[in-house]
Structure 1
């Protein structure tokens, strides 16, 4: 008789153990964030990370970066003009130095223009194309205009 009663009791413990593990599993899933897909429609998104492309700081620093690159091109142009003026009355040795400086400044200007144009072509910088700065700079132009 004792053996007959032991069967249903062990089945009860087995069912209870399985239910206990299932409850423990569900609690674990919620505790460790595995149910985000389930609660996502009810979540208001307060703790989502900030979109840096849309931040005010990103706008400001990107605009300043464009302005600095355009200004660097203009500064190189101004220095080239000043050196060309100086070259008119320079000695042969100084003229050679001036020519080397002008070549270096032309390369620096082209680097600034290329950096400007490369960044202007990037999609996440698109909001700055229609600001006060030009969409592209012309590397072959004698003078760069930074503001419209």
Structure 2
């Protein structure tokens, strides 16, 4: 009977040891692999942001994009002004065409203003706007100035 009891005790210790190793393994997986798994979305976002925002190409493109959008607004304004001057001496048919062109150019100008303002408001792009460019463009202004 003593041997049976001793065998049962050894068997119980073996089961406890196996369970203990399994728990230790599970804790290790969760502590190391689990932490990586839990933080993966954050690390992935940071990596993606650094690969995009931190790249020289993105920075240069964004910097130039602000100038391009502001210039597009100014180009539309200049064309609108030239068409308005032409309209003063245009025939009735040509005046109708000019009115349609002006309407389209005003819509294009507003789209460019909105695109500029949208990009200027984006946290990761705003620091890449040239200091001489305005923070926002005014869609209701007759003239846009692309320097402060």
TM-score range, shorter chain: 0.7 to 0.9
Partner of 1:20: 18
Name the SS of the counterpart of 1:99 in structure 2: helix
Name the SS of the counterpart of 2:146 in structure 1: coil
Name the SS of the counterpart of 1:106 in structure 2: helix
Q: 1:16 to 1:115 in 2, by over 3 A?
A: same
Aligned length in residues: 138
8 Å contact from structure 2 (residues 66, 116) kept in 1: yes
**2:123 paired with 1:123:** yes
Structure 1: 5+ residue stretches without partners: 41-46
Q: How far apart are residue 24 of structure 1 and its match?
A: 3.1
TM-score (norm 1): 0.73
Name the SS of the counterpart of 1:76 in structure 2: helix
Q: 1:18 to 1:69 in 2, by over 3 A?
A: same
More displaced stretch, 72-81 vs 90-99: 72-81
Q: 1:62 to 1:129 in 2, by over 3 A?
A: closer
Structure 2: 5+ residue stretches without partners: 37-43
Partner of 1:110: 110
2:31 to 17, 31, 35: 35
- Alpha-carbon distance in structure 1 between the residues aligned to 2:109 and 2:115: 10
Q: 1:143 to 1:23 in 2, by over 3 A?
A: same
TM-score (norm 2): 0.73
Q: 1:118 to 1:51 in 2, by over 3 A?
A: closer
Partner of 1:101: 101
